[in-house]
Amino acid sequence: MSQIWVRPERVQQNPLFTDDYQAILSNDEIDTVVEVLGGLDPAYDLIKAALEHNKNVVTANKAVVARHLTEFTTLAREHHVKFYFESSVGGGIPWIINLERALRIDQIDSIHGIFNGTSNFILDEMTETGAPFDVVLAEAQRRGYAEAVPSADLDGDDIENKLCISASIAYDTEIKPNDNLLKFGIRNVTAADVSFFKKHHWVVKLIGRSFLQDNRYNFVIEPTLYASGKIEAGVHQNYNYVGLRGTTIGKLSFNGQGAGELPTAHALIQDLLDLELHMEHLNRAFQQPLELGNDSKLLDYIIRSEQDVAALLPDYEVTKEEADYWIVKQISASAAHKLIQQLSKTEKPLLAAISQQRS
**From its phi and psi, is residue 112 left (phi > 0), alpha (psi between -120 and 50) or beta?**
beta
Q: Is the peptide bond before 42 cis (omega within 30 degrees of 0)?
A: yes
For residue 294, give Cα distances in angstroms to 98, 220, 286, 337. 26, 8, 21, 10
Residue closer to a copy of itself (CB basis): 74 or 98: 98
Residue closer to a copy of itself (CB basis): 201 or 320: 201
**Could you count the other beta carbons within 10 Å of the beta carbon of residue 259?**
20
* 162 catalytically annotated: yes
- Choose, by CB under 8 A, the member of 12, 15, 80, 104 that binds a copy of itself: 104
Region near a copy of itself per CB under 8 A, out of 18-26, 192-200, 237-245, 344-352: 237-245
- Choose, by CB under 8 A, the member of 32, 70, 141, 228 that binds a copy of itself: 228
Q: What minimum distance in Å lies between the beta carbon of 198 and a copy of itself?
A: 11
Q: What minimum distance in Å lies between the beta carbon of 284 and a copy of itself?
A: 16
Structural Rg of the chain based on CA atoms = 22
Binding mask 107-146 for a copy of itself (x = CB under 8 A): ----------------------------------------
Residue closer to a copy of itself (CB basis): 94 or 132: 94
Region near a copy of itself per CB under 8 A, out of 62-70, 150-158, 239-247, 304-312: 239-247
Q: How far is CA 19 from the centre of its chain?
A: 32
- Is residue 101 part of the contact set for a copy of itself (CB under 8 A)? yes
User: Which of these, 290, 238, 255, 284, lies nearest to 65 by C-alpha position?
Assistant: 284
- Is residue 263 part of the contact set for a copy of itself (CB under 8 A)? yes
Region near a copy of itself per CB under 8 A, out of 4-12, 192-200, 267-275, 335-343: 267-275
Q: Are 70 and 176 in contact (CB under 8 A)?
A: no
- Choose, by CB under 8 A, the member of 12, 180, 248, 283 that binds a copy of itself: 248
Among the options 55, 62, 82, 162, which is catalytic? 162
- Is residue 26 part of the contact set for a copy of itself (CB under 8 A)? no
**Could you count the other beta carbons within 10 Å of the beta carbon of residue 262?**
9
Residue closer to a copy of itself (CB basis): 42 or 144: 144
Residue closer to a copy of itself (CB basis): 114 or 167: 114
E strand intervals along the chain? 4-5, 17-18, 32-35, 56-59, 83-84, 108-114, 182-183, 202-213, 216-227, 239-246, 250-257, 291-292, 298-304, 318-320, 325-332, 350-354
The residues in 330-359 that bind a copy of itself, with binding defined as CB under 8 A, are 358-359
Phi then psi for residue 90, to 5 deg, are 80, 10
Q: What is the largest CA-CA distance in the chain?
A: 69
**Total residues interacting with a copy of itself, rule: CB under 8 A:** 48
Burial string for 118-140 (b: 16+ CB within 10 Å, else e) reads bbbbbbbbbbeeebebeebbebb
- Choose, by CB under 8 A, the member of 16, 23, 36, 105 that binds a copy of itself: 105
Q: What minimum distance in Å lies between the beta carbon of 234 and a copy of itself?
A: 4
* Residues with catalytic function: 162
Write out the residues near a copy of itself by the rule CB under 8 A. 92-94, 97-98, 101-102, 104-106, 203, 228-237, 239, 243, 246-257, 260, 262-263, 265-266, 269-270, 273, 277, 279-280, 358-359
